[in-house]
Amino acid sequence: STDLTSTVGYDSIIQHLNDGRKNCKEFEDFLKERAIIEEKYGKELINLSKKKPCGQTELNTLKRSLDVFKQQIDNVGQGHIQLAQTLREEAKKMEDFREKQKLHRKKIELIMEAIHKNRNLQYKKTMEVKEMCCCFLPYGVAGDCGAAVPLVAHSASSPPSLRFFWQLFLKLAQTKSALEDTDRSYQQSVTTMEKIREEWQSEHIKACEFFETQECERINYFRNALWLHVNQLSLGCVQNDEKYEEIRKSLEMCNIEKDVDFFVNLRKTGSLAPAPVVYENYYNTQRNVTPARSPAPVPISR
């Protein structure tokens, strides 16, 4: 701004930096909330795999597949809990980065606050001295700085006395001396003001360069943190798919014929079928009935 005492540009930069810090805090909170969700989901999966029956009376190869299935679901749950811990660690890193930038920036802001205050005070003082110097101008008799003392008008019938001229001379001398002192003070004030202005401008440039460096670091850190977060989620999906692949491999080993044979061998009661029931005559024992021979038991297959 062309206004020496204005801080509009500086305030705009500080506001932008504060907004950037707020954005980092929002992402940090997002990671924390996601961690809570992941941890809760992981615990629910583990409880489900351990407490909920899932084909508990199955036998042989299918039973083994179901055991692998439940174990891998448990592992997926553990993976989500581990991801939750990773997200909390990333949120803590973001918080540490944010607070570190805040502390570094605070030092620069304190320097700028002090120099703004000093600049404004000196500017106010300089303007006051300038105004004091200019207040001599309206009176009429110019001095070295355009200052003057009032002249008293006298009529022709009342000519001024020698005493009057002497008093006027003394007053003029005093006024001139006061004006010279005021002018010197004004010049000194302007010189001091210029030194302060140059110092302020130099510090302002340094502050802007520092703030720009911080903003570049923040954007780079934020971008990398977001990239890392997405990679972590992708890695979680890959790891989950590996666990699910174990289930698929186990199911490939599930053999229907083997499971049926296993059940038959586990529960079999014998290899012979029951013999046919033969009629026996208990009503008329006098009849000559040729008893039927019981057929021999026939071996049966599965």
One digit per residue, pLDDT tens: the chain, 302 residues?
788 888 999 999 999 999 999 999 999 999 999 999 999 999 999 999 998 888 888 889 888 998 999 999 999 999 999 999 999 999 999 999 999 999 999 999 999 999 999 999 988 888 888 887 776 654 444 444 444 444 444 444 555 667 776 777 778 777 777 777 778 888 888 898 899 999 999 999 999 999 999 999 999 999 999 999 999 889 989 998 999 999 899 999 999 999 999 989 998 888 888 888 887 887 776 665 555 555 555 565 65
**What is the domain partition of the chain in residue ranges?**
7-122+205-262
Q: What is the DSSP letter of 56?
A: T
Q: Does domain 7-122+205-262 have CATH number 1.20.1270.60?
A: yes
| CA–CA gap between residue 19 and residue 17 (Å, rounded) | 5
| CA–CA gap between residue 104 and residue 268 (Å, rounded) | 81
| CA–CA gap between residue 225 and residue 227 (Å, rounded) | 5
Task: Please give the distance of CA 297 from its chain centroid, rounded to a whole number.
Answer: 82
- Tell me which residue has tokens 């586990």: 266
Bridge partners, 272 (sequence order): 299
Residues 6+ apart with CB under 8 A from 284: none
| CA–CA gap between residue 18 and residue 1 (Å, rounded) | 21
Paired tokens of 243 = 């666990």
* Helical ranges in the chain per DSSP H: 8-51, 60-134, 162-252, 256-267
Specify the pLDDT at position 242. 92
Query: Residue 185's CB: how many other CB atoms inside 10 A?
Result: 17
Specify the pLDDT at position 279. 79
Q: Tell me the pTM.
A: 0.70
Cα-based angle 202, 206, 212 (whole degrees, multiple of 5): 145
Specify the pLDDT at position 91. 96
- Tell me which residue has tokens 């920036």: 105
